[in-house]
Structure 1
Amino acid sequence: MYNSFKNTAKISPEISNRLLLPPDLLTWVHGERCAVEDDFCINRLEILALECRSGQVSSVGQDLDTKIMLHHYSSEEMNKNYIEDIANEAINLLWNVCECNNTAVSIFNKEGCLEAVLHYMKKFSTNVDLAISVANCLQAVTEDNPDLLSSFNASAQQVLETVMLCPETTMKHVLLRTLIAGTIWNIKDTIPPGSLGSMVNAILKIFSESLAIDAGETIIRMNEAEKNRLKLAAEAETEENMSDVIDNCAVSEDDDMEEIPKGKVRREHDISDLLPSDKWELKEVTALLMAQQTALEIIVNMCCSEDPSDDEWEELSSSDESDLFMENSYNEGSGLLMSPLCLSDEVHSAFLNNLIPKKILEKTAFPNSVALDICMHNPSWKPLIKKLNTVQCRALTCLHSILLVSDVDCLGGASALQSLAQHLSQLVFSKTDTEFLEAITSALRALLQTMASKNISQCMTPDQLLALCEAGIHSSNASVRVNVVSILGISGSVLAKLQDTAETLKMIGKFLLEVAMKESSLVVAGEALDALFDVFADGKEAEKAAVQMKLLPALKEFQPVFKLRMRKEGKEQCSTDQLCVLDNVKMNLRRFIAYQETLGKNPT
């Protein structure tokens, strides 16, 4: 999750006790991170916590020791609203601990912290950073938290709706609206049924607007703005220094004038003080990328029949999840795709109205090469490369989910899916990063499955398929390996229905058989067997290839080995869901051998 903390400090047990943090939460704060900058901030945080608990939020900071404040702030900074600074520190801490600790969320519910937090959301028009902290906190505490729903009365919802309608166009405001939209999705059960459609449409409109912004072009524009700002500052500094030299000369000619201190470098009217704060352009780009990442993650949640948690949403393309999806994707005997996920009418309609599939597809592409070059050669901007890659991976995972829940027409028809297949097949060879490979192979797997179920011809050549699988099968990530053997199985089953494909099927079969026999992961081995069953399930070309590669004797020899591996490794290495899938594979192996024996006696 987005985190604005720069420095960390431990909270002493005494202060932690006064903050009333639970022991397990205290352990986490001590061991991992805490949203405070120094001892002074700890004192501020302690005071705010006590004030919040006493219901005196509006008076926070009024009794702070003036000497401490004078020590911590310069005279210019005293004009700032330090109460909001204290609130920002506290809300950041609250967000972090609630995001990682269920006990903290329970305390948030019981102590009525929502009202205190929403009080500061109302400051969004004058303090967007504080509002973003509140929005992050709200999104964390509202996820899978039905006990909090009753606290979102009409007044609380009005605050959120007001923020969503904010017309400001800065990237920070884009992030703020995106986070609030995510919060409203989390509390959708509080929305009257008659308003649900308009609410979902408003949420997806915000996501669509966020995703429509070209991050690459924004980087180029903001980098240019930074250069201009720094140039103006340098020119102002030079002009100021020249003015000082002239002043010094004038003073030296006038014996009655006092000598100007040697340390003086600028006047009180220095215009650089009026320029934006340092690195504001970089902060704008960072806010945009965070908004886009958040929007994509929430769209994935919207595609699921049950909203997954932050930890779970990323596992949609993992091996066990993919196995379960594909296991449930077939109506036994018919081979038709039966989606395990579903979209409500409201979400489905809003997806189309706001061009969500199109926006997601655009985000799967690589960012502007000029923007990447800017980031690569600017140390302070270089971390943006990782954020750009994260957005791309989230878009691919989002595409995977969209493919599982949308029909062909919603995705643009057969030609659009074929173009998408070409796009993904080109992307897949572009990077070796594990997260990217998992996301791209998951999306490609779902796409090819959709195309196969609708008898849409696939555009990847056998050579491309085998090259993909040769590269993917050596990945250290088991999910990637599961995806590539599944892709090969899907494509092979399509080829088996065509003419003169026996040689290609034989290559595919040998590859899958070798994976099943030599793969270290039992889950991947099981997926390879499952893919074999799909490829050689039916058709003259498949029957011909199976005979030529001696598939039946090879499987007979391997069957007891697979059973032994399941007994020895299954319970130790696999989850309950994975074991269910593997048990099904073992049963299908027995059936497939019997089927091949029948074919041997009665060839087609």
Structure 2
Amino acid sequence: MGKSKAKKFKANKPQPTGLPSVKDCEAALDLETVKSIASNSTIQNLIEKLTSTNEDERECGCTGIAGLVSQPQAITCLLQHNVVRILAPLILDPSIQVRHRALGALRNLSVDGGLDVCEEMVHKDVLTPLVAFFKHYPVGWVPEKPGKKQKDFNTEAFLEGTHLLWNLCEATETAVEVFNKEGLVAILLPCLQYAVYGIPLSIAVGQCLHTVSEDNPGFAQACDGGQATPQQLLNLMGEAPESAGHILLKTLATGILVNIKSAELTTAPGNLVAHILTSVSQVLDVNALDNFTATLDIRKEMTPSEDEQKDTNLTSSIKDKLQDVEHFIAAQMIGLEIAANLCCIEDTWEDMDSSESDDQIAEADLEEETMDDNLFSPLCVSSEIQGAILSNEIFSKVLKKAQPCILPGDGISLSDQQKNLVKRFEKLEVHALLCINNLVSSMELEALGGLDNLHSVWQGLVQLTATKHNGDRSDLLEAVTSAMRAVVQKLAEHESPKLLEVTGQDLQFLYEMGQHGNSSDIRVNAVRIVATFGAHFAKNKEPHPMLLNLGVFLLEVACHEGELWVVAEALDSIFDVFGEDHLNNILSEIRLLDRLRQLLPMLKAKMKANRKDLGEHLPVISTAKTNLVRFIKYKSSV
């Protein structure tokens, strides 16, 4: 009990946008109407345009829909009018301009509508025309060279279709299954050649393939038996970076390769792992925050009249720089994901069938561990991976990405694009913290810089929890406490003497989070961190003075927590910390056994009432209940 595995995670994707504007239809559709909640008459008018025999009308209708979907109320109304079934056939419209606009509208709908709308789109069979659209492009097709005043609409439509396919595959397994079945990888994979297809299209294809290839053996099999494609990806990874977009594309290639070779990485040749982590190291070297603050300096230098004029429309130069920052952040998200997931060892962790009885689960668990087991069971990765992580200084680079995004100066007016990038930096910080959790849990102490470095990391993490802006950011607190839990477990595993120097004040903020944290993950992390300190204190024959308050905290959580999983973790912590007989005086002083006897029947009743909702936590809760009975019985006999 109490053991935690390194968690596999993936970066949240940025929300792309489809058609840039509806200016072509402003004469037909009042702009104020687009910005307001769409009325039934407005939508009915657009649908009539979609079904018109006139090409311009159909194109205008698609553009109008694309502008409306940014409003949730409009999306609901559009779905009620069955707009997906009406738009979908236009993916195969005879006019390339209409195909382009229809794909852009559906892309926007998939982005702004979220998971539910993507599922609805798949249910309404948008994939059939979308697959047919892609199959109109022969394998290895080459874009036309656009004229000075004319777009290559075939390439633009392919770009919109790729983003739509990416969104659907991100949202539903059905879309991934269709992707495999229809062999779309053969059409998309050549488009990674950015010199032929251009960086924007190659990035979109890379993002789609990165999503589809995850946990997808069928994808690897479709890639020429898993041989030719890895070499193509390795070649792309080995290129010298030419731009921010190129860096993102190289990192996407790395992620796709990791997904294809995931089952083999623990036994793969060292040079493959070295290539992967060298790519990760290079992308983490980029200081995206400096690039971002440079755009703020430019904006700050504007005169008031310039600033007012360009508040919503930044200069082309600044927009390009912000796009570069977005590419850097996206690449670093993927890099952190790769580093973290290379430290996952999942073979030894098996899900237990929730249909098993409490006793079956408990017995299976107890065969592997006893009441006096350590709180942690260190996970180790292969020596090749550890060596590559160490030689590329991955840990120190990840630590830098975990620093909060602090902007220079106050009173700078940010554009919407800049505000969105600030949020992306915050997401990057969260992913860096989750990566720290996996690295610390899985790596040898020397690869992490030794005990002194880990203590410095601990202090930095404690400061993050105290940052005044973090109170309402549960994602950040969850990530910080996960990293703290891994660090303190590693320190305790190596019996760091500095752990005994902790003060009651140092633990107080953990007590607060353990009782009042706004998510169960935060509360569990706080409980397990406290328990790790407690188990370390308990090794001394002379009871540590902080064990009394520590025991009161664990008992309060066990008796008053509403979620059974947190209760189980608190009980498990009590067993780990107070299992030894030399601490029985503390148990008596806080009336531990009396309180636990009162808790037992309530715990059984809650388990019986909520059994179907316990999910993956059922084994932990069931084992805690069984161990509670044994703990009470044993301590009562002493």
TM-score bracket, shorter-length normalisation: 0.7 to 0.9
Conserved? CA contact 1:19–1:49, under 8 Å: no
Matches within 5 A, 1:438-587: 438-457=478-497, 458=499, 460-498=502-540, 501-538=543-580, 540=582, 542-569=583-610, 571-575=611-615, 577-587=616-626
Comparing 503-512 and 102-111, the one that deviates more: 102-111
Deviation at 1:436, TM superposition (A): 0.8
TM-score (norm. length: structure 2): 0.71
**d(CA) in 1 for partners of 2:366, 2:449:** 25
Give yes or no for the alignment of 1:359 onto 2:403: no
What is the match of residue 394 of structure 1?
431
- Does the alignment pair 1:221 with 2:294? yes
CA contact (8 A) 2:254 2:276 kept: yes
Cα 1:193–1:413, aligned 2, differ >3 Å: closer, same or farther? closer
Partner of 1:77: 149
Matched, 1:130 2:201: yes
The Cα shift of 1:390 comes to: 0.8
Which runs of no fewer than 5 residues in structure 1 stay unpaired?
Answer: 37-44, 63-72, 238-274, 313-323, 600-604
The residue correspondences of 1:29-178 to structure 2 (distance < 5 A) are 32=113, 50=132, 52-54=134-136, 56=138, 76-78=148-150, 80-124=151-195, 127-153=198-224, 154-178=227-251
Q: Secondary structure at the match of 2:466?
A: coil
Q: Which residue of 1 aligns with 2:332?
A: 292
CA-to-aligned-CA distance 1:167-225 (integer Å, 9 cap, x gap): 23422222111111000101116989997322221111111111122232222234446
Unaligned runs of 5+ in 2: 1-12, 20-65, 70-77, 93-105, 119-126, 310-314, 352-361
Q: CA RMSD in A?
A: 3.8
Q: In structure 1, what is the Cα distance between the partners aligned to 2:405 and 2:590?
A: 45
- Over 3 Å counting, the alpha-carbon distance change for 1:500 and 1:90 in structure 2 is same
Structure 1 residue 30 displacement after superposition: 11
| Alignment match of 1:197 (pick from 270, 283, 300) | 270
Letter in 1 for 2:338: I
Q: Which amino acid aligns with 1:214?
A: N
Query: Partners of 1:499 and 1:489 in 2: how far apart?
Result: 17
Among all aligned residue pairs of Structure 1 and Structure 2, give the percentage whose two residues are the same amino acid. Answer: 30
Structure 2 residue 43 is matched with structure 1 residue 3: no
- Residue identity in the other structure for 1:56: P
Kindly state the Cα deviation for residue 429 of structure 1 after the two structures are TM-superposed: 1.8
CA distance in 2 between counterparts of 1:386 and 1:30 reads: 17
Q: For the structure 1 residues 374 and 139, does the alpha-carbon distance in structure 2 shift closer, same or farther, using more than 3 Å as the test?
A: farther
Mapping 1:224-235, distance limit 5 Å: 224=297
Task: Give the whole-Å Cα distance in 2 for the aligned partners of 1:15 and 1:562.
Answer: 54
Q: For 1:249-398, what aligned pairs fall within 5 Å after superposition?
A: 276=316, 279-306=319-346, 332=370, 335-336=373-374, 339=377, 341-370=379-408, 373=410, 377-398=414-435
Partners of 2:411 and 2:272 lie apart in 1 by 39
Q: Contact 1:210/1:291 (CA < 8 Å) preserved in 2? A: yes
Q: 1:505 to 1:206 in 2, by over 3 A?
A: same
Question: Kindly tell me: are residues 149 and 535 of structure 1, through their superposed partners in 2, closer, same or farther at Cα, counting changes over 3 Å?
Answer: same
Post-superposition shift, 1:49? 5.4
Q: How many Å apart are 1:6 and its aligned residue?
A: 4.4
Q: What is the rounded CA distance, in whole Å, between the counterparts of 1:549 and 1:428 in structure 2?
A: 29
Q: Supply the distance in 1 between the matched residues of 2:607 and 2:266 (Cα, whole angstroms).
A: 49
SS of corresponding position for 2:417:
coil
TM-score, length basis structure 1: 0.75
Q: Using the alignment, how far apart are the partners of 2:490 and 2:367 within structure 1?
A: 10
Asked if 1:419 corresponds to 2:419, the answer is no
Counterpart residue type for residue 356 of structure 1:
I
Spell out, residue by residue over 1:500-551, the C-alpha distance to the aligned partner (whole angstroms, 9 max, x if none): 65542111111211111111111111111111122212263x3232222222
Larger Rg belongs to: 1
Decide whether the 8 Å contact of 1:98 with 1:105 is kept in 2: yes
